[in-house]
Amino acid sequence: MSIAMVSLAQRFMLELKAPRAWLLLLVPLFLLLVRYSLSTFSAKGGRPRQQASDNRLPPSPPALPILGHLHLVGSLPHVSLRNLARKHGYDDLMLLRLGAMPVLVVSSPRAAEAVLRTHDLVFASRPPSLVAEIVLYGPSDIGFAPYGEYWRQARKLVTTHMLTVKRVQSLRHAREEEVSTVMAQIGEAAAAGAAVDMSDLLGSFINDLVCRAVMGKSFRSQGRNKLLRELIEDTSPLLAGFNVEECFPLLARFGVLSKVVRVKSERLRRRWDELLDSLIEGHQRKYVAVGASDSSEDDDDLIHVVLSVRQEYGLTREQMKAILLDVFFAGIGTASSMLDFTMAELMRRPHLMEKLQAEVNSSVPEGADELVREADLTDMTYLRAVIKESLRLHPVEPLLPHFSIASCSIDGHTVPAGLQVLVNSWAIGRDARYWEHAEEFIPGRFIGDGGAAHVNFKGSDFQFLPFGSGRRMCAGVNFGIACVELILANLVHRFDWELPEGKKGGDIDMSEVFGLVVKRKEKLLLAPKLRV
Ligand code: HEM
């Protein structure tokens, strides 16, 4: 889950296209100009005056008045921030100012270790977000909540009750059943000689799987799974961006542009309320009727889990809703985008696809039914290497959002309290000082004699942070990986995949779109051919 603060630049420019917005902005902008010209900047180079008196702040590139470095943040912030850091030689730490908001960008494994391990507690909070405040009830979820007692309890609830290794394993049958449904759909397309929109198919597979884990077997009734997907698609762009008022607090006082964001967020929250309240009430009725201790394995979905510990944790209805929302937001977009990148990379390199198919085929017992079961995955080391390599080149949350709650010193630089921090895990995964042929897709590096055979994504190897590290590390790694491994093994075992007529692997466009989760821009259309 990511708070993509830097997509602000784009949104800000879009909002400014409305003529009324320009008029409304004139007065506060003038005030800002006066304020910043007089107080914040020295005449030369646009460095904050604070830096002149305290030259131990991390280094900054030259900035513009008012906008600061906002104009340097492009449509793919992880890429533009990496390029900016490289250009100025600020490979470890770089201090930017987006409007009035200072942001520390962390671009190397060494600096990431200082932030996420050495000073883990200092950076364990999240930046404030108006949208999260409204849509996530406070925020009372885990991903956006500020560091403190509430977050600690909520995280404990999720890690010790909802997403434990045991519970993820207990959802194995649900995963296998959902995979079987998808395989049947693809089989029909194969029989009809039709192409499949893989991006859409993988998206709805993960959506249904997460819905089933959260709501139980009835997740398809009344089209709830579809409604949920729609709601996530409508909410993600808002949650992904920083709001103008966070970059320009002075503007917020005039209440100009933030009102639009507030109204949109409140509308979305009402839609979420309707769905989540009906889900919780339905489960509550069943819970009371059956009795808490008598619930069968089928009832053992995550809403039941939250209800069963509600009193122990003293949760309000809103807090329960926020925690459930986290599972939807954190689980759905991430895993499906990751799968889409992986299939695209494999289609670009048929020899790697063949290697993976050979491993999967040799690991599935002869005479077994056509599905790969979770028990068959144990020895699939190449499958795991493919997934890791995909996450290295395409971390779907490329900027890890943190917030300093105290000041500290890193490499002789003073990092003040109250600073937004972005750890650029995309830049780190492609750092040529740590990765041989850093820009190439080479899964073999993660196995055998490969240079990264010892590297894993548990948060202790700072050159590879697809799930983050430290206190705020992803709480759903086991869940996410279990879904991704099973579907990928089945996709390549059961089918050969072809590109639409006339297209070659090299034609697949790997361009990205930035958001709460980074996705490939183009849909992946593939024609399945039945193998077994
Ligand atoms: C392949 C799939 C996934 C990827 C790549 C991924 C990645 C991430 C990343 C990078 C973070 C931020 C870490 C940081 O700030 O240092 C995160 C946070 C989080 N993830 Fe995941 N995630 C995935 C799947 C899931 C799933 C399936 C769930 C739950 C069902 C989940 C739940 C969470 C939660 C609750 C947080 C917030 C943790 C906190 O702030 O304390 N994630 N994830």
Which two three-digit tokens encode residue 73? 């943040």
Closest to 405 in 3D by CA, of 65, 79, 146: 146
Check if 322 has its Cβ closer than 6 Å to any atom of ligand 1: no
Rounded average pLDDT over 387-409: 97
Quick check: CB of 258 below 6 Å from ligand 1?
no
Q: What is the mean pLDDT of residues 158-187?
A: 95
- pLDDT grade, residue 240 (50/70/90)? confident
DSSP structure string for 254-299: HTSSHHHHHHHHHHHHHHHHHHHHHHHHHHHHHHHHH-GGG--GGG
Residue (of 255, 261, 7, 41) closest to 132 by Cα position: 261
Say how far apart CA 190 and CA 496 lie, in whole Å: 10
DSSP string, 323-344: HHHHHHHHHHHHHHHHHHHHHH
Would the pLDDT of 392 be above 90? yes
Q: Is any ligand 1 atom within 6 A of the Cβ of residue 137?
A: no
The bridge status of strand 408-410 relative to strand 413-415 is antiparallel
CATH of the domain at 417: 1.10.630.10
- What are residue 98's DSSP bridge partners? 68, 101
pLDDT above 90: residue 252: no
Given a cut of 90, whether residue 217 has pLDDT beyond it is no
Give the position, in ligand 1's atom list, of the atom nearest the Cα of 155.
Answer: 41
What confidence category does residue 219 fall into, taking pLDDT thresholds of 50, 70 and 90? confident
Q: What is the mean pLDDT of the chain?
A: 87
Model confidence at 30: pLDDT above 60: no
At residue 296 the predicted structure's pLDDT band, cuts being 50, 70 and 90, is low
pLDDT value of position 212: 93
Residue 155 in contact with ligand 1 by CB distance below 6 A: yes
Which residue's CA is minimally distant from atom 27 of ligand 1? Answer: 331
* 90 Cβ closer than 6 Å to some ligand 1 atom: no
Going by C-alpha positions, the residue among 203, 228, 247 that lies closest to residue 16 is: 247
Q: Which two tokens stand for residue 308?
A: 């069963």
CA distances, 382 to each of 273, 334, 528 (Å): 43, 21, 22
Label residue 324 exposed, middle or buried (CB < 10 Å: 0-12, 13-18, 19+).
buried
Residue among 157, 474, 487 to mutate when testing ligand 1 (max atoms within 8 A of CB): 474
Report the predicted TM-score, pTM, of the whole model to 2 decimal places.
0.90
What are the tokens at 135? 């849509």
Q: Nearest Cα to 166, choosing from 314, 297, 351, 15? A: 297
Residue 32 has pLDDT above 50, yes or no: no
1 neighbors 326 (Cβ within 8 angstroms)? yes
Instruction: Summarize pLDDT for 66-80 with one digit per residue, the tens.
Output: 899 999 998 999 999
Beta bridge partners of 421: 104, 402
Statement: residue 366 has pLDDT above 70: yes
Q: Is the CB of 333 under 6 A from ligand 1?
A: no
Q: Over range 246-260, report the average pLDDT.
A: 67
Among left, alpha and beta (phi > 0; psi -120 to 50; other), residue 522 is: beta
Query: Which of 523, 28, 495 lies closest to 258, judged by CA?
Result: 28
Residue nearest to ligand 1 atom 18, measured at CA: 474
CA of 117 to the centre of ligand 1 (A): 17
Interhelix angle 224-240/198-215, rounded to 10 degrees, is: 110
pLDDT top residue among 341 and 500: 341
At residue 216, φ and ψ (nearest 5 deg) are 95, -175
Q: What is the mean pLDDT of residues 99-127?
A: 97
State the DSSP code for 195: -
Strands 420-424 and 413-415: unpaired
pLDDT at residue number 238: 84
Query: For residue 429, is pLDDT > 80?
Result: yes
Please classify residue 148 by burial: count the beta carbons closer than 10 Å to its beta carbon, then call 0-12 exposed, 13-18 middle and 19+ buried. exposed
For ligand 1, say whether the CB of 459 is within 6 Å of any of its atoms.
Answer: no
For residue 316, the model assigns a pLDDT of 97
pLDDT at 46 over 80: no
Question: Tokens 């395989």 correspond to what residue?
Answer: 183
Query: Please, which pLDDT band fits residue 40 given cuts at 50, 70 and 90?
Result: very low
DSSP character for 494? H
287 vs 473 pLDDT, higher one: 473
Output the pLDDT for position 502.
87
Distance CA 124, CA 404 (A): 7
**pLDDT band for position 249 (cuts 50, 70, 90):** low
State yes or no: pLDDT of 28 exceeds 50. no
Residue 301 clears pLDDT 70, i.e. is over it: yes
Distance 511 CA to ligand 1 centre (A): 23
Euclidean distance between CA atoms 73 and 79, whole angstroms: 9
The reply to whether ligand 1 has any atom less than 6 angstroms from the CB of 32 is no
Question: First vs last Cα of the chain: how many Å apart?
Answer: 37
Of 344 and 250, which is predicted with more confidence?
Answer: 344
Name the more confident of 52 and 150: 150
Kindly indicate the confidence band of residue 52, based on its pLDDT and cuts at 50, 70 and 90: very low
* Section 324-337 average pLDDT: 93
Least confident of 10-19, 202-211, 223-232, 244-253: 10-19
Cβ of residue 64 lying under 6 Å from some atom of ligand 1: no
Q: Whose CA is nearest to atom 7 of ligand 1?
A: 467
Q: Ligand 1 atom 19: the closest Cα is on which residue?
A: 474
Confidence of residue 17 (pLDDT cuts 50, 70, 90): very low
Q: Which whole number is the average pLDDT over 396-416? A: 97
The reported pLDDT for the residue numbered 82 is 98
- Whether 483 has a binding-site annotation, put simply, is no
For residue 332, which atom of ligand 1 is closest to its CA? 27
pLDDT(257) > 70? no
- Greatest mean pLDDT among 15-24, 215-224, 243-252, 330-339: 330-339
Q: For the chain, what is the domain count?
A: 1
Q: What is the pLDDT of residue 33?
A: 45
Question: What domain range includes position 125?
Answer: 5-530
Q: Please give the residue that has the higher pLDDT: either 249 or 58.
A: 58
Give CA–CA dist 497/343, Å, rounded. 10
User: Distance, CA 342 to ligand 1 centroid (Å)?
Assistant: 18
Percent of the chain with pLDDT strictly greater than 70? 83
